[in-house]
Amino acid sequence: MPILQPIVNLVELLHQQGLRHVVVSPGSRSAPLTLAVARHPGLQVRVVPDERTAGFTALGMAQQLRQPVAIICTSGSAVYNLSPAVVEAYFQHVPLLLLTADRPHEWLYQQDGQTIDQVGLFGSHVKRSYDLPADYEHADARWFIERTINEAYTLSLSGAAGPVHVNVPVREPFYPKADETFRYERGRVITNLPTETTLPPTTWHALLNEWEATDRKLILAGQSPYDEALAGLLAKISTEQLIPVAGEILSNLGRNEAGFITQTDTLLAQIDEDVLEELRPDLLVTFGNGFLARNLKTYFRRYPAVRHWHISATDDRIIDPFRSLTTVIPMEPLAFFAKLFDDIDYKRFREGADDEDDGEFLSNWQGADQAARRVVELSLSNAPFTDWVATQQLLEQLPTGSHLHLANSMPVRYANLCGLDARQQVRVWSNRGVSGIDGCLSTAVGAATQTTSLVTVLIGDIAFFYDRNALWQRDLPANLRIVLLNNASGHIFRMIDGSGQQPELETYFETPHALTAERTCADHDVDYAQVADRASLAKALATFFAPATRPKLLEISTDKYVNKSAFAAYKQLVKS
């Protein structure tokens, strides 16, 4: 048996469990892991030199696959470079397997290169951290490795999915001889069977009674993957039971015939206390991950619902961002709303009762939403060419069924103000677990490798230049489209009242620069175009989404001072 056969076997066991994709950052200590995955006939391996980029690329792949993606890196500071992607995956509930090579632990603190304390390095931001033995002679060591790999893979998917860390100390020699053949020995797969949560009948009937006894009900969707079945069901509930359903762009509930409420950021920014009180629900029902807009979060904290249900089958923590939570319902949203709709519908049919709700609460929300949309449309029609105007032009041209990745800072906020038509069936993604700018482009690249649909990333200049190593990998997907909003600064700090009013704004908050993406695109064989007005943008978008043999980047140049004044005019209009 080769001295590192257990490492070859653990890769085979991961494949037996279902692993199909691995992202590798080159290194020496990780060579046994790298060679084991590179030579495995059932694994697709992507090489990404920059570990931070590698982590986010794997994140984007796992988002699409909804299955774990493994990441392999060498020891030392390389491991720390995975941290931004790890924390994003943790809070976004994305399954990742972190296979980090390490030195044998007796060499820690002995001035040995690339040797740091890697055990538990990611702290509470992984679901669990494991440390494998460096010696394999005893049968218990091989049994421990096999048991650990089974547990780690299963854990990444169970409950709230997330990253799991497996630290792999490796002794020298760890390179195989030139004529050595790898044998992938099948291991013992331990299966963890899934369960489905159902509520006891008495508990369910109590929820139904509370639902029926409440007049002013609101369903509010947080960030969620695109789910056509769930969107259709919520539309039926809204239409037939006269209940407002609201969500931001990241909820993947677009404008539709049922009148979903999509302009929450604008409509909840108004200052009319009477209107705001009319919108307060007695029962708030939430599902999904976090919310984007400060106006939305501030409103539901200032005007809390009497009762607040949160629907989640996986959260093991109490999620109470509005400080109003009264009940956690451990079910999947689709299953919950399907049963709720069927049972209420049957109950009313059996009792021969029509819905006595006159729909006033729904009308209040839909009327406010329509008024907010008029404010947005008026602001955009009167504005000069700005980042926000460019965002609106882009969203209107997105191909049906494509994917949209929204980078953090202003791009995701502009897109949320614009919204999307549900008929476009665009799948919207954003790294809003931690909401950093550090891997937005890398995540989109990873996603594009796992779908044949077009993947468009809308990104600001600082986020782009901070993460341009995302393009430093072979075989960039040709279905990737990058739309870069370049206003030559960290634009959001000029928009925020606090930093925007400081004399140190330009030096210590913004990041002024004279960079363009042209040379970056030339370095990485990405098609490049640049525009600076409405007409040229419209012309460029006419062919931007056409099939191509390489990725495309469209750089949109705007003036940060014009951006600020136009956005200030919008905020003034909201308050008028």
As given in the structure block, the two tokens for residue 461 are: 């200049």
CA distance readout (Å), 237 to 226, 232, 233, 360: 18, 9, 6, 16
- Could you tell me how many residues make up the chain? 576
At 508, the pLDDT band (50, 70, 90 cuts) reads: confident
For the ranges 74-83, 263-272, 314-323, 344-353, which has the lowest average pLDDT? 344-353
CA distances from 132 to 46, 107, 166, 305, 568 (A): 24, 16, 7, 49, 56
Domains of the chain by range and CATH? 5-169 (3.40.50.970), 201-368 (3.40.50.1220), 383-575 (3.40.50.970)
Q: Select the more confidently predicted residue: 76 or 511.
A: 76
Q: Note the pLDDT tens digit of each residue in 522-576.
A: 999 999 999 999 999 999 999 999 999 999 999 999 999 999 999 999 999 998 8
Q: How much is the pLDDT for 1?
A: 44
With cut-offs at 50, 70 and 90, classify the pLDDT of residue 354.
low
Reply yes or no on whether the pLDDT at 264 is more than 70.
yes
Q: What is the predicted pLDDT for the residue at 353?
A: 62
Six-digit token string for 365: 């929300």
Query: Which residue in 184, 193, 170 sits closest to 15, CA to CA?
Result: 184
Share of the chain above pLDDT 90, in %: 87
Tokens 């200052």 correspond to 271
Query: Which pLDDT value is given to residue 358?
Result: 78
Over the Cα atoms of the chain, what is R_g?
26
Nearest-angstrom CA–CA distance, 442 and 457: 10
Residue 349 has pLDDT above 80, yes or no: no
Question: What are the angstrom distances between the C-alpha of 5 and each of 150, 230, 231, 421?
Answer: 17, 47, 49, 54
* Average pLDDT value for the chain: 95
Sign of CA dihedral 234, 394, 571, 320: positive
Which residues make Cβ contacts (< 8 Å) with residue 1, sequence separation at least 6? none
Mean pLDDT on 107-120 = 93
Q: Which of 41-55, 137-151, 344-358, 422-436 has the lowest mean pLDDT?
A: 344-358
* CB contact set of 300 (below 8 Å; sequence gap of 6+): 220, 284, 322, 324
Query: Given this model, what pLDDT does residue 356 score?
Result: 60
The first and second tokens of residue 358, run together, are 């006159």
